[in-house]
Amino acid sequence: MAKTFRATKLQTLTKIVIPANLSTFISSLKVNIGLSLVGVISGEFLVSKAGLGYLIVYGGQVFKLDLVMASVIILGVVAGIMYGAVLLLEKFITKSKKFK
């Protein structure tokens, strides 16, 4: 229908495609927050000299459970904050665009 009214590709993208897929984008963000943290930490497990993944591995090697648990708690807090930010973004977008 947009082509019938001679809409450009940019107009089709901004007026039809993006609004129709907004809920999919938000759902993907929610899932990928956890997966991105898993990827970062597993990369730090293998090759890092610093970071939370390094602290987890190092704490496990020298039997310092406090390092391991502190790192895991920090990861949980960071993941919760990032998830909360996506929820706020979702509320803002759905309220401003009046999607239901």
Q: Render 29-42 in DSSP notation, one character per residue.
A: HHHHHHHHHHHHHH
Against a cut of 0.85, is the pTM above it? no
28-53 pLDDT, tens digit per residue, is 999 898 888 888 888 888 888 888 88
83-94 average pLDDT score: 90
- Contact call for residues 61 and 45 (beta carbons, < 8 A): no
61-81 pLDDT, tens digit per residue, is 899 899 999 999 999 999 999
For the chain, the structural domain boundaries read 35-100
d(CA 34, CA 19): 25
Task: State the pLDDT at residue 100.
Answer: 46
Q: Two tokens at 37?
A: 């943290």
